[in-house]
Copies of this chain bind each other. A is one copy, B any other.
């Protein structure tokens, strides 16, 4: 699937997350798909105030959401919109506290099986290029009917 097709699918199925700049004041988060390649994608989480945590750092759940959606996007790009993959497991290591700025997520598939997909995500700050978190996730792939 192209980025255009991915955005259309995501806007339709994940109205809670703003992907393509449409105005939605109730959106939980706003994310951008920077690029999609073979087994990889790059996502961007713009900085916004409500993800701030004490000390001016970004919230863990916002980073979790970025990693989760990023892996979902890679899988979707590979299997197409045939059904909905479900996150079964996610482990995230928070490495360094990010300063308040946009985050970049480099997502990579480690396995794309018939029943399970596993991927890894590295989260960087956009301005400093500092590694702030690492996540691995497992997704259950729905059976083809």
Contact = CB atoms under 8 A, between A and B. Distances in A.
A99 interface: no
B28 A28 contact: yes
Interface in A95-126: 95-97, 110-111, 115-116, 118, 120
Protomer copies: 4
Interface residues of A, number: 45
A27 interface: yes
A14 B53 contact: yes
Contacts of A95: 110-111, 118
A20 B131 CA distance: 35
A132 B52 CA distance: 28
Given A59-B28, A136-B136, A110 B93 contact: yes
Interface string A35-78: 00000000000000111111100011110110010000000000
Contacts of A1: none
A106 to B, nearest CB: 13
A23 interface: no
